[in-house]
Each structure stands twice: as structure tokens, then as C-alpha cells.
Amino acid sequence: MSTIFGLSHTATLMLWTVVSIAFLIVLISKFKWNPFVTLLLASIMLGLLAGMAPEDTIKSITKGLGGTLGTIAIVIGLGTMLGKMMAESGGAERIATTLIDRFGEKRVHWAMMIVGFLVGIPVFFEVGVILLIPIVFIVARKTKMPMLQIGIPILAGLSTVHGLVPPHPAPMIAIDAYQANLGKTILWSLVIGLPTAIIAGPLFGKWIGKRIAVEPSAELMEQFAVKEERKLPGFGITLFTILLPVILMLIGSIATIVDPDAASGFTRFAEFIGHEIIALLISVVFALFSLGYARGFTKDELSKFTSECLAPIATIVLIIGGGGAFKQVLIDSGVGQAIADVATSAHVNIILFAWFVAALIRVATGSATVAMTTSAGIVAPVLAQTVGANVELVVLATGAGSLVLSHVNDAGFWMVKEFFNMTVPQTLKTWTVMETLLSVIGLVFIFIASMFV
């Protein structure tokens, strides 16, 4: 590839990368173009500007899109089905009501964080909000607590799991790109995610709830007031169903650690059921019985549930695929290696670098998914040249960066604003601050953990 303005080959590649990312950001943020279309256009632009042949650019895009969705699309589909069964059966309500009874009204905001954390494991953030917002209203009314003191902990739990805890797509994308160990990532995500969610959730929620008073709209309150009563599933079976995929994945990872050569048949079996696809598939089938047939649903109703829940995730799947295409062009064009060379020679801390890249794209595009998929292609080559780095912590740093500073270009910002009936300034002071706390505090805990591993 020829250079421009007398710049070196590496500097030219870096320039075209900046131009392509700026193109991506402007079209998504200013002109509101569909992120999937924009990611494909940015991928083509970068490939051609970087000197790739047109046919090689197309091959790189299809390879990246297909390679990314090979596992992630299945994970998203199965996870969505599991979340749908939890919603239709009343499992989320059962978890909430049980924890409220156990914690008591004075500590109900702590129970709300746990509810968000648990319910968020199999469902997307947006689905979790819709699922749990009635519980926020009901608990706030019963306990007479400020609504934000109840709501912020739930949002913190949901958002923490969304950005840090597998098998959510965001951390799974980074795990695949960085070749991280799934089980170790889950363990570190819990160790780091829980205290992070506590600070940004119950503690911040109690503080901000006393300073900003909000009330849900009359229309929403009326909608939830006339909700049909139903008998809820048992707490134990609901909790086990939700945590089953995580349990299976941890079993597989522990077996690998104990028997790294997979010498025994049990280890191979544990690795098989611990693979994220098999673990989620087993969990979905189990949920069809534990939260489906056992709750009196017919086979026609279960078929309807598992089919209708897939349509809303089409956009998310395509965006993730588009991000994978852009990531692959970054690698195949030599841009990833050029960035790795620059970062390595500058002795950049890999954890801070991963967080910063994801945070920059998140703030610019408003999408945590775009931030994760795009930054993975930038960070992976740098990580490959960083000796002694803890790969699992770099996964979490990327996830933490993708959560920072949600504002007016983020769909989640407007969802929270409308459900909690807040003004834009109030949403910035509550939701945006909470997301930033999750990101920054998570980064601090990741740095602390990196001192010991």
C-alpha cells in the first residue's frame, strides 16, 4: 500500500483506521443510520483504503461476520428462549418476592440488586428492564421507598451482567477474540462484578434516591395495577433453572483445570456439557419442563413462546455480525498489527488500553455491543504481544469500558428515562452516573485483581 503525506506505512494505516471509525461514528450518531449497514460500509472503506483488493475485502467481511456469529448467534437465541420462559412462567416475580421477604423492607434495595443480577444472566438488558419494571413499581409502593432507591440497584445488576458476565454476548465476543478461558472469566466476573454492582447499585441508589424524587406515569401504574394474578413457580426450581448454564460451564472449566490433558472420560464429558452452546441448550430444554410443562403450559404455547421471542433479537444479531466483519478487516488489512506495534513500543498498559478503546467507541456510538465487537479487533493483536497479561481480566476491562457514560445516543438511556418518568437532566444524574460508576469502579477492581494474578 502506498503512503500519503509522507507518512510511514504504519502511520498511514492508523490514519485510515481513524477515518473509518469516524465515518462509523458520524453515520450512527448524527445521521441515525442502521449500525449493521454502517459497520459493513466502514469495513469496506477500511479494507479498500488500507490497500486490500476488493475481493479480499469481501472475503474478510464474510469471514468475520460468519466467524463471529458461529457461536454468538446460537448463544443469543438460546439465551433469549431461556429468558422468555422465565418471563412467561413468572419466575422473575418469584425470585423478587422471595428475596424481598428474606431481606425485609429496610434492606429491599439490596434484594433488588440480586434480582437484577440473577434475572440478567439469561436475558438482554432491555428485556430485563421490561421484565422487572413492574416489580420496581410494586415494591416502591409497598415499602414507601423512593423509586430510584429500588430501581437503580436493579439496573446496576442487569447492566453489570450485560457487560461482564458470560454467557452474555458482549463478554463472549471478547472471550472468543482474546482466546480467554470461559470458566475463569465467569469466576472473575463474579468476583469483580458483585462488589461493583453493590457500589453503583444499592449504595448509589440510596444516595441519589433521597435527592431526586420521581413517580411513574399514571398510565404505567394503571397497566401494572390490573395485571392478572397467577400462581408463581417455586423459588428453588426457578433459581436452579436460571443458574444451570453457568453451573454447567463452571463444571467444564473446573474439570479442565483438574485434568488438563482430558485423560478421563468424565473430563471430556464435563467439557462437552460445559461448552456454552451445549450448556444453554440443556438449560433451555430443562426450562421447557421446569417452567413450561410443570406450570401447565401446553405444547402450542411453548412453541409460540420460543418462536416469538426470536424476532426482536434479529437486529442485535446483525449488529454483532457487522462488528465481527469490521474486526476481521482490521486484522486482515494489517491495521491490528500496526496498532499492536505502536501500543507495544509505547508500553501501554493492556488493561487500561482495552478499557479506553471500548469506552471511546461506546461514548461515540451509544452501543455497548458495537463497542465490544469493534474494540475486540483493535485490542486482540496488542494482547497477543503482551507477555504475562491475564487474558480474562482484559476481557472484563473491555466489558467495563463498553458500559461507560451512557447518554442521549444510547437506546437504553431513553428506555430508562421513559419507564422512570424522568427528565433528561435527571436521567443524566442517575442512569448515566450509575453506568459510569459501574465502568470506572469495575476498572479499579480489575487493576487490583491484576496485582495478584
Domain map (residue ranges) of the chain: 23-450
Asked if 80 and 281 count as a contact pair (C-beta separation under 8 A), the reply is: no
- Alpha carbon distance 153, 32 (integer Å): 31
Contact yes or no for 110/117 (Cβ under 8 A): no
Q: What is the mean pLDDT of each run of 10 residues along the chain (453 residues)?
A: 62 84 79 85 91 92 85 79 80 76 80 82 70 73 81 91 81 85 87 93 89 72 52 85 82 78 81 85 92 88 85 76 81 74 72 88 74 82 82 92 79 74 84 93 93 84
pLDDT of amino acid 447: 92
pLDDT computed for residue 226 by the predictor: 41
Question: Tell me, what's the pLDDT at 65?
Answer: 87
Give residue-wise pLDDT tens across range 80-127. Answer: 788 788 778 888 678 777 877 887 777 888 888 888 887 777 666 766
pTM of this prediction?
0.72
- The grid coordinates of residue 174 equal 471478547
Q: Which residues contact 288 (CB under 8 A, 6 or more apart)?
A: 85, 302, 306
- The 10s digit of each residue's pLDDT in 384-395 is 887 778 899 999
The answer for residues whose C-beta is within 8 angstroms of residue 132's C-beta and 6 or more apart is 92, 96, 115, 116, 119, 154, 158
